[in-house]
Amino acid sequence: MEAKVTRGGHDTIRAMVWTTEGLRLIDQRALPAAEQWLLLTNPAAVAQAIREMVVRGAPAIGITAAYGVVLSAREHFARTPAQWRQSMEDDMRMLAAARPTAVNLVWALQRMRECAHRIAGGVDPVPALLEEASAIHAADVAANRAMGRLGAAFIPPGCSVLTHCNTGSLATGGYGTALGVIRRAWHDGLLRHVYADETRPWLQGSRLTAWELLRDDIPVTLIAEGAAAYLMKLGRVQWVVVGADRVAANGDVANKIGTYSLAVTARRHGVRFMVVAPSSTLDMQAPDGEAIPIENRPETEVLTLSGQAVAASGARAWNPAFDITPAELIDVIVTERGVVEAPDSARMAALNG
């Protein structure tokens, strides 16, 4: 299976494909060294893939979980047709627990649950649930394209941007959030230079963002996170463009660890700060960033690199996967429903409706 398909417009990568056998995922742990596809045929395998970062990125996790529900219904309807709903609920709890910060995961599961409730007793649930999961997937790509257009409108010609983590086709249904804006701005000839943080400890920037952009013919320059302040001081970037795992009702944003320090540094240097996230990433139940659960990941991710120890033996590590950027440091939040400049509770509420 090939991750790259002809689609044009600097948009050729897809990270997940549904087939009659099950869900195929490109193994993001192996990139860029190897392009390996895994076939997942049951919900436990899907939960494990999310937990272990075969697939990552908030929207991609949600879409993957939705397909996981289809696999659950298929398995349980075949085994005990009268009880598939109860067994599917158990699987949904398992899927929801796989990673805590990205709200897209529980959002997608709730959509699948509501779809399941509409299915009449005795009817094979798989076609309706597959249609719903595919609709979630397609809507995400459409949202990304809309956000690409809305976000690129803020980018002046000749601008250079810095991005963090991986927010592209690998992290979404396709096209990407922050990388969608960068794809669109590049396509429109607006960008001079794209810089990407390498994004320790998982190296989503150097392994995934660089792979994805180069595959789509967009040149990229990697920097160590520690170089960002100096890059800004030298006036080499005008916008920081990042994604989100969860946006609270007041516009505070949870995103990959290191996002907060980029926002602080950007404000210090007069560099503008854009967050790009679909409405499935908004959590209006969380009043502010304090209410967002932050995932702590194993120490080994910091202490080792590609399985090799890089730290002094005996050193401990603290490894929060995300941090909170306060709304006051954000110039604009871009969603497919519209943009919110200088976000606060009132402007976020107005966007929602």
If the CB atoms of residues 256 and 272 are measured against ligand MRU, the closer one turns out to be 256
Indicate which single residue of 167, 169, 209, 265 sits in contact with ligand MRU (rule: CB under 6 A). 167
**How far is residue 11 from each of residues 83, 126, 144, measured CA to CA in Å?**
42, 30, 11
If the CB atoms of residues 43 and 258 are measured against ligand MRU, the closer one turns out to be 258
Indicate which single residue of 64, 209, 255, 335 sits in contact with ligand MRU (rule: CB under 6 A). 255
* Residue 177 touches ligand MRU, criterion: CB under 6 A: yes
Applying CB under 6 A, the site for ligand MRU has a residue count of 17
Q: How far is the CB of 332 from ligand MRU (least distance, A)?
A: 16
* Residue 323 touches ligand MRU, criterion: CB under 6 A: no
Task: Identify whether the C-beta of residue 91 lies closer than 8 Å to the C-beta of residue 72.
Answer: yes
If the CB atoms of residues 136 and 171 are measured against ligand MRU, the closer one turns out to be 171
Kind and range of the H or E run holding 247: strand 246-248
Indicate which single residue of 172, 209, 238, 335 sits in contact with ligand MRU (rule: CB under 6 A). 172
For 191-307, where are the alpha helices, taking DSSP H only?
210-215, 228-233, 259-269, 300-303
In angstroms, the CA 299 to CA 2 distance is 33
If the CB atoms of residues 171 and 237 are measured against ligand MRU, the closer one turns out to be 171
Indicate which single residue of 58, 109, 139, 181 sits in contact with ligand MRU (rule: CB under 6 A). 58
In angstroms, the CA 72 to CA 327 distance is 38
Task: Identify whether the C-beta of residue 211 lies closer than 8 Å to the C-beta of residue 198.
Answer: no
Q: How far is the CB of 199 from ligand MRU (least distance, A)?
A: 8
245 among known catalytic residues: yes
User: 10 Å Cβ neighbour count for 172?
Assistant: 31
In this chain, which stretch among 5-13, 129-137, 165-173, 340-348 interacts with ligand MRU, using CB under 6 A?
Answer: 165-173
Indicate which single residue of 109, 133, 162, 165 sits in contact with ligand MRU (rule: CB under 6 A). 165
Which residue is at the shortest CB distance from ligand MRU?
243
The residues facing 248 across adjacent strands are 283
Catalytic residue of the set 245, 283, 323, 331: 245
In angstroms, the CA 135 to CA 122 distance is 24
Residues 6+ apart with CB under 8 A from 145: 175, 180, 184
Indicate which single residue of 115, 190, 244, 333 sits in contact with ligand MRU (rule: CB under 6 A). 244
* Residue 209 touches ligand MRU, criterion: CB under 6 A: no
Which of 215, 267, 207 lies closest to 240 in space, CA to CA? 267
- 103-139: b (≥16 Cβ within 10 Å) or e: bbbbbbbebbeebbeebeeeeebbebbbebbbebbeb
Could you list the active site residues?
A: 245
Chain contacts with ligand MRU (rule: CB under 6 A)? 56-59, 102, 165, 167, 171-172, 177, 204, 243-245, 255-256, 321
